[in-house]
Structure 1
Amino acid sequence: MDRRSLIKHAGIAGVLAAGAAPAVHAQAAVRWRLASSFPKSLPTIFGSAEKFSETVKALSGGKFEVSVHAAGELVPPFGVVDALQNSTIEMAQTASYYFTGKNSIFAFGCAVPFGLTARHMDAWMEHGNGRKLMDEFYAEYNITSMSAGNTGTQMGGWYRKEIKSAADLKGLKMRMGGGLFGEAMTKLGVVAQNMPAGEVYQALEKGTLDATEFVGPFDDEKLGFHKVAKNYYYPGWWEGGAELEFFINKKAFDALSAENKAIVRAAGAVAARDMTAKYDAQNPAALRRLVAAGTKLRAFDKSIMDAGYKASMEVFAEHEAKSPEFKKIHQDMRAFQRDQVLWSKFSEWRYDSYIAGLKL
């Protein structure tokens, strides 16, 4: 009797008893650990990692679980790349520009001065060459990547004194997230310092810092910066759309089944969208509260923006001269940006400008 006839006449119970059924392998349970570079006190950023974990568990029926650990619980906030490279953890959630000390190319995975907005970044990464180019680079560190969400255009930070011109930046001790922005600000005379968000309030309070930038109203309010530095500037020209990323240990990802790889990608997309939407939903009310509490909202003078642009372009030119790989990625991003800016002139910008002038 052939296999088809056996199944037809004996039924599934008989087939199993006869040992003739095709092999059925239960999906093995998978347990990963994700280390974030951010504290639990930031529900927008850290919440993206939690949303990812919840979605993976739900999609897998509990067979795939990712435990989420805040900054410092498993590894130091800026130690996640080393941990991934050494296969100490399977995943991290971070801002790639924290690691430009290893290689300046890391900046392109998050934000560069006068770079892409959130929508432009999403388009470049997923439908331009961005993700392909960055993953080729990240492979050197045993990493593959996905978006963890975008903050949108950030604020220009908190300052203990007014910044009326580029000259007022000279000698300023300022915490900044990292990346090429720090090099540009150094050209303007700023003493750039990179430190975890949780350490900044005390440094501002003691006067060991004169200024700090972080993200925007919702996160900044939670960190209490308005209590120790009253001048809140905009826009953050160094982060037109800061992309947070899920870094995944490449060996661990490659070892997953096709089903689990699809689950990871789907969960990443859910978490990324959720983070960006949360920022857009929560920043307006937070900004109103900050102003009501005495925050002085100020725009950077155009002369400051122009000085920042000039310094930034010098930084890009210096890195391009040293690294063909840097030049390739930077030039690809700028070409993509030119097309995006062209389209935005006829769509988002024109529409938003009109709506902003209405009394809604």
Structure 2
Amino acid sequence: MLIACGGSSGEDATAEAAAPKKEVIRWRLQSWAPAGDRTYEAAQRFAEVVEIASDGQLLITPYTAGSVIPGGKEFDSVMSGSVEAVHGPPGWTIGYLPGAVFFTQYPGGLTSNQLEMWMKLEGRKIAQDLYDDLGVHYVGILTLSPAEVWAHSTKPLRSVADIKGWKVRLGTTALNAIFQKMGATPVFLPGGEIYESAKRGVIDGFEYINPSLNWDMGFHEVAKYMYLSPSRAPTDTQCIYVNGDTWDKLPENLKTIVTMATDQIAREYYTESVNRDVEAVQKYIDAGTIVEPVPQDIIDLLNEKSLEYFQEESAKDPNYKRIYDSAMAWKEVCERFDIK
């Protein structure tokens, strides 16, 4: 018996020694988010889950905005291969794919749950088809948020008259165009520049993500007013993009792990955000922030100008129309069956 046991152990050791070592693949992933932004923590969590699930075969090092490449240039860099992967808003890819706005937040759009379902049914396939033409693989939504804060503002918004000339930071080309139609003065800034810009008066207001994340960013210190309404952004997303050549070289098992980790964290992030938002709104009130609903005439103007903008853009670009029509068809299904 002892001899038999010893022989078995020796065979196992020999087999283990003869087994080829798995290649370790290393990626750099730059997030759109600065330090202190909870979406960056999701990028860190993503890297951890992938490492564990792949048994260390795929190691992803996350970086905050601007650490490897300039903030706001994440998509350009993943296209060129300067980094292997990025975590950022679809709205920042609109210069290359205008219809990408429908993969994230837009006025009159899908709620978080509706968007997540649509992406899994049809949206992700459309996104992958169109981003592949740009040399980038679209993995999916990593950070999925409830309705955004409509806006933080240093000035009160009582009616559409207060929108005129309002210097507002907006995160997408579509929002810039829509708010310009409304009479505002849009300003594009990466998330990491919002706090100081509001503090110095460079901007009068800004849209960012949800109450809990914005609280962590300290925005209650620089904006007296917070306006709530899902009309501007029923949800918000930041997604994982991988350089096309990098993705193509990845073994199939690791592609599956990356995709499943992305989907898992999106749902975890959303659930946690809902819970945190309830607590955060009370923190704003306790800190002296004036929390108010958006005046109805501003919402009406927003809806009017948004529809006008989307119809104009759909007439120019068949890909834009393809995405918009698909999203709106799913919205009709959701409304018919009362799916929130």
Name the counterpart of 1:36: 31
Q: Any gaps of 5 or more consecutive residues in structure 1?
A: 1-9, 349-360
Distance in 2, matches of 1:245 and 1:175, equals: 21
Name the counterpart of 2:60: 66
Shift of 1:232: 0.7
Name the counterpart of 1:167: 161
Shift of 1:13: 7.2
Q: How does 1:271-282 map to 2 (within 5 A)?
A: 271-282=265-276
Q: Which runs of 4+ in 1 moved over 4 A?
A: 10-17
Shift of 1:263: 1.5
Task: Give the structure with higher Rg (CA).
Answer: 1
**Residues 1:119 and 2:122 aligned together:** no
| Contact map agreement 1:49 1:271 (CA 8 A) in 2 | no
| Contact map agreement 2:212 2:276 (CA 8 A) in 1 | yes
Q: 2:32 is aligned with what amino acid? A: S
Name the counterpart of 2:224: 230
Distance in 2, matches of 1:14 and 1:237, equals: 67
Shift of 1:149: 2.3
Q: Which residue of 110, 131, 136 corresponds with 2:129?
A: 136
Q: How does 1:274-293 map to 2 (within 5 A)?
A: 274-293=268-287
Name the counterpart of 2:89: 95
Q: How does 1:72-91 map to 2 (within 5 A)?
A: 72-91=66-85
Name the counterpart of 2:3: none
Identity of aligned residues (%): 24
The SS at the match of 1:298 is strand
Distance in 2, matches of 1:259 and 1:293, equals: 49
Distance in 2, matches of 1:195 and 1:102, equals: 19
Distance in 1, matches of 2:129 and 2:337, equals: 29
Distance in 2, matches of 1:42 and 1:14, equals: 52
Q: 1:192 is aligned with what amino acid? A: P
Q: 2:125 is aligned with what amino acid? A: K
Shift of 1:11: 8.5
| Contact map agreement 1:100 1:179 (CA 8 A) in 2 | yes
Q: How many residues align?
A: 332
Compared CA separation, residues 229 and 101, structure 1 to 2 (3 A):
same
Shift of 1:247: 0.7
Q: How does 1:39-50 map to 2 (within 5 A)?
A: 39-43=34-38, 45-50=39-44
What value does the CA root-mean-square deviation take over the aligned residues? 2.2
Q: Any gaps of 5 or more consecutive residues in structure 2?
A: 1-6
How does the TM-score come out when normalised to structure 2? 0.92
Compared CA separation, residues 230 and 16, structure 1 to 2 (3 A):
closer
**Residues 1:252 and 2:246 aligned together:** yes
| Contact map agreement 1:48 1:274 (CA 8 A) in 2 | no
Q: Which residue of 143, 147, 151 corresponds with 2:141?
A: 147
